[in-house]
Amino acid sequence: MDTQDTPGYCSDLTLSYGRQKSAIRELFEYGKKISRDKGPEQVFDFSIGNPSVPPPRQVEEAFCSLLAKESPLALHGYTSAPGDPAVRRAIAGQLNRDYQTAYDESNLYLTCGAAAALSSTFRALTVTGKENEFIAIAPYFPEYKCFVEGHGARLVPVPSSLPDLDIPLEGIDNAITSSTRAVIINSPNNPSGKLYREPELQALGSLLGKKSQECGHPIFIVSDEPYRELVYDGRKTPFIPPIYPNTIVCYSYSKALSMPGERIGYVLVPPELNHHARDIYDAIAGAARSLGYVCAPSLIQRVVGLCADVKPDMTVYDLNRRILFDGLTVAGYRCIKPEGAFYLFVEAPEGKAKIFSEYAKTNYNLLIVPSESFGFPGYLRISYCVSTERIQSSLPLFAECLKKYER
Amino acid sequence: MDTQDTPGYCSDLTLSYGRQKSAIRELFEYGKKISRDKGPEQVFDFSIGNPSVPPPRQVEEAFCSLLAKESPLALHGYTSAPGDPAVRRAIAGQLNRDYQTAYDESNLYLTCGAAAALSSTFRALTVTGKENEFIAIAPYFPEYKCFVEGHGARLVPVPSSLPDLDIPLEGIDNAITSSTRAVIINSPNNPSGKLYREPELQALGSLLGKKSQECGHPIFIVSDEPYRELVYDGRKTPFIPPIYPNTIVCYSYSKALSMPGERIGYVLVPPELNHHARDIYDAIAGAARSLGYVCAPSLIQRVVGLCADVKPDMTVYDLNRRILFDGLTVAGYRCIKPEGAFYLFVEAPEGKAKIFSEYAKTNYNLLIVPSESFGFPGYLRISYCVSTERIQSSLPLFAECLKKYER
């Protein structure tokens, strides 16, 4: 590399993270530009996973009642580093009611969203002086790479099993080495909407249990769950700790409570995490401390404490999902029907995702994300967290786009 | 180390950060216990730097008006990673008015408080594959160590010049090596209340300029400024970028707006930062990204945008400062008169800070922090961000404590 790229007075790696824009962000910025220049009705922006359903009314009520009733010094003051104990108790209570567990506040560490939870967890599991590998099942959320590699560890992608994007047991079996620290699970999945079933999670658990014994150290599941509550057709996301005890859960309220900007979530270190639960909890707490997380934002902590049992209203997302899936299928697209989250994963014509995405953008202002950045080429991610009207009016364009492209 | 301490399945370093409680936290927890067991009037807790003056009324007004008027989806949605552009413009405007600078939003990166700003900056300045050293002037905020060492760099403490805790130019000169990345400045200082004057900052700037040339790479000042607005006697904190262009400012609103739990601050990368300003900004942005900081909490960003020009009311802190300084001096303590922040730094009798702190705690429930953890033994830190009544009623106890201790 030449000296201009490796200046020697700052980190090359973080410089590259700061310079490189994600494919998603680039499309999003393009969409904002068209919207300003030609009017918002001219652009069909399906690029971003920003909730389109307003926060539940309980969220706004919680903000107002806290601001009206609580002492400002207490409300905006430091909480303990793991978060306000009463808030953690409220969350433990919700988990216990929903999953028949027996957690308490000592199992929870509140974080600035799932990103902070994941980065702190990866940092904590990265052992000094050793090789460290984290397995991600592709397609995966692109930021995993940056969270893992930023701490000097390596992300090892393993492609999902086709056609249904199941857990690739054989691939994971082959990818595990003595340096493997964890397998990252993200179900419901961004970008595919895939939801894993209990039997395949059990099979993964058996494999990891066996491999942990062989390696002589635990191989954890890090379960990234921002979409846990966003499921369709009356399904329930299987809760992984009872299936595989060595599971660390990273949760975010961003999507379920429609407040992604407020940065609130948690790490759950279940007590059943073999005999190392306290060490792992402390190592995550210490990682969060050294990354500069003093505590999660205090007012938002309290809001979440009051809304621990609030579930998202899925009506609009479900309607969008059906209209989009049916409309695109009729138009000739091959789509994977999402069972959770708010993304539709569509096969790119001839597998050429980047080319088709560019074509759709240039000719129809349809902004859809090619799947290369998710580590799984040949697909397109369509975020349907937009108004239903936008989906309906986009359908003729999607149809025409495919027809003209294939000609 | 034995295997119980180095489990091999998680980071020893972050485990130690998670296990070890700071001296400050331990005193604080002790105080809470006494308060519960014997009543809050029985304990004199001067351990913690938690603001005691409520947030200015503009802060509460900003919360209420934002929640009443803005669309919840926009208010709680993702902002761009560096922060809402309008908020950054408001802050740039305040800096330009206060310091006759010409900043704009592209120079500012909003963070979850100064801790996040510092950790991201240290990460960005830590060059892969090289030794990396950051110089801290002792006494210093203990978390610097954990922010610096967590990224694999080394903190190099240099003691302040006595008797006035001036910048130790000779010590810094001797400590600089080819691995030095930055000198951390914290003025007004926690724990001493020391405020540097412009001439000594100029002398430091000259030294660093000369040393940068010798090293062949810039040696930055990282200026940690949570107490910038908290000054007494009509003083103004000198603003460092015009004095030394290679300065990165890490600011927090925690103390000035009395909302330390809300986690809001910024990194300022001034455009005059030689020809590398854009690289440094991008490297800090990339560091923040890989540490898991998606954006600073969105509602709080907007609050700060509306309150950019609000200054703290120093009346109560100033009254506390005078009563405490005068009272302790009369009682025979040797105190350094604070010019900023809300800490009084007091010589420990016979230089035995830990022993005296323990004595004062055990016999008088006076909770004061020994200065060992600030890298500068022999002193006691008394946080006077408490009610004036508590200070007044503590004075006879302080007097008796010293008398009995010296007997």
At residue A95, the pLDDT reads 98
CA distances from B326 to A192, A322, B344, B399 (A): 67, 74, 11, 12
CA distances from A173 to A161, A177, A210 (A): 13, 9, 10
Strand A220-224 with A180-185, pairing: parallel
CA distances from B274 to B218, B284, B285 (A): 9, 16, 18
SS3 A289: helix
B214 in contact with A at a CB cutoff of 8 Å? no
* Token reading at A288: 């969060």
A290 in contact with B at a CB cutoff of 8 Å? yes
Beta bridge partners of A158: A137
* Token reading at A70: 């609580």
Please state, in angstroms and rounded to a whole number, the distance separating the CA atoms of residues A40 and A323. 21
- ipTM exceeds 0.90, yes or no: yes
* Token reading at A34: 């068209």
Q: Is the dihedral of CA B269, B59, A76, B37 positive or negative?
A: positive
Q: Mark which residues 165-204 of B lie under 8 Å from A by CB.
A: 181
Please state, in angstroms and rounded to a whole number, the distance separating the CA atoms of residues A367 and B285. 26
A149 in contact with B at a CB cutoff of 8 Å? yes
**Termini Cα distance of chain B:** 43
Under the banding of pLDDT at 50, 70 and 90, the label for residue A6 is low
SS3 A224: strand
CA distances from B404 to B15, B326, B330, B360 (A): 41, 20, 16, 10
* Token reading at A318: 């479900």
The helix (run of H) or strand (run of E) holding residue B181 is strand B180-185
Please state, in angstroms and rounded to a whole number, the distance separating the CA atoms of residues A245 and A276. 11
Q: CB–CB of A9/B178 below 8 Å?
A: no
**Looking at chain A, which residue has its C-alpha nearest residue B82?**
A18
B242 in contact with A at a CB cutoff of 8 Å? no
Max intra-chain CA distance, chain A: 66
Range with lowest mean pLDDT among A31-35, A128-132, B124-128: A31-35
Letter for the amino acid at B393? S
What distance in Å separates residue A203's CA from the closest CA in chain B? 23
* Token reading at B274: 């030689």
Under the banding of pLDDT at 50, 70 and 90, the label for residue A2 is very low
CB–CB of A300 and B296 under 8 A?
no
Tens-digit pLDDT profile for residues A249-302: 999 999 999 999 999 999 999 998 876 899 999 999 999 999 999 999 999 999
Contacts of A50 in chain B (CB under 8 A): 77-78
pTM of the model as a whole: 0.96
Q: Does residue A322 register a pLDDT over 70? A: yes
Share of chain B residues as helix, strand and coil, in percent rounded to the nearest 5: 45, 15, 40
* Token reading at B63: 């919360």
Which of A31, A191, A314, A63 has the alpha carbon at shortest distance from B298? Answer: A63
Q: Mark which residues 249-278 of A lie under 8 Å from B by CB.
A: 258-263, 276
Strand B133-138 with A108-111, pairing: unpaired
A52 in contact with B at a CB cutoff of 8 Å? yes
A–B interface: beta-carbon pairs under 8 A: 288
**Who among A14, A113, A260 is closest to B123 (CB)?**
A14
Give me the residue label for tokens 């208010």. B75
CA distances from B390 to A62, A170, B357, B383 (A): 34, 67, 18, 12
Please state, in angstroms and rounded to a whole number, the distance separating the CA atoms of residues B20 and B32. 19
Contacts of A282 in chain B (CB under 8 A): 15, 18-19
To test the contact with chain B by mutation, choose from A3, A4, A11, A190 the residue with the greatest count of B C-beta atoms within 10 A, namely: A11
Contacts of A115 in chain B (CB under 8 A): 292-294
SS3 B135: strand
Contacts of B128 in chain A (CB under 8 A): 11-13
Q: CB–CB of B351/B283 below 8 Å?
A: no
CB–CB of A11 and B263 under 8 A?
no
Contacts of A67 in chain B (CB under 8 A): 60, 63-64, 67
The helix (run of H) or strand (run of E) holding residue A389 is helix A388-406
To test the contact with chain B by mutation, choose from A1, A4, A9, A148 the residue with the greatest count of B C-beta atoms within 10 A, namely: A9
Q: CB–CB of A83/A104 below 8 Å?
A: no
SS3 A165: coil
Alpha helices in A176-276 (DSSP H): 198-215
Q: How many CA atoms lie within 13 A of B316 on its CB side?
A: 15
CB–CB of A283 and B18 under 8 A?
yes
Contacts of A147 in chain B (CB under 8 A): 290, 292
**Who among A9, A18, A300 is closest to B282 (CB)?**
A18
B162 in contact with A at a CB cutoff of 8 Å? no
Q: How many CB atoms lie within 10 A of CB B343?
A: 26
Which residues, in sequence order, are CB contacts of B395 under 8 Å at separation 6+? B323, B324, B327, B328, B331
The helix (run of H) or strand (run of E) holding residue B162 is none
For chain A, the average pLDDT equals: 95
Which of A261, A267, A228 has the alpha carbon at shortest distance from A114? Answer: A267
Please state, in angstroms and rounded to a whole number, the distance separating the CA atoms of residues B187 and B238. 9
Higher pLDDT, A159 or A22: A159
What distance in Å separates residue B106's CA from the closest CA in chain A? 13
Please state, in angstroms and rounded to a whole number, the distance separating the CA atoms of residues A114 and A226. 7
Higher pLDDT, B194 or A406: B194
Intervals of chain B under pLDDT 50: 1-4
B234 in contact with A at a CB cutoff of 8 Å? no
**Looking at chain B, which residue has its C-alpha nearest residue A293?**
B116
* Token reading at B120: 């991201």
Please state, in angstroms and rounded to a whole number, the distance separating the CA atoms of residues B325 and B334. 9
Tens-digit pLDDT profile for residues A379-397: 999 999 999 999 999 999 9
Q: What is the CA radius of gyration of chain A?
A: 22
Peptide bond into B54 cis (omega under 30): no
At residue A32, the pLDDT reads 84
Tens-digit pLDDT profile for residues B262-296: 999 999 999 988 768 999 999 999 999 999 999 99
CB–CB of B72 and A79 under 8 A?
no
A154 in contact with B at a CB cutoff of 8 Å? no
Please state, in angstroms and rounded to a whole number, the distance separating the CA atoms of residues B226 and B251. 5
Please state, in angstroms and rounded to a whole number, the distance separating the CA atoms of residues A315 and A296. 30
At residue A275, the pLDDT reads 67
Phi, psi of B217 (to 5 degrees): -145, 155
* Token reading at A2: 């030449």
At residue A274, the pLDDT reads 74
Beta bridge partners of B44: B366
Give me the residue label for tokens 């003025």. B187
Q: CB–CB of B242/B99 below 8 Å?
A: yes
**Looking at chain A, which residue has its C-alpha nearest residue B84?**
A261
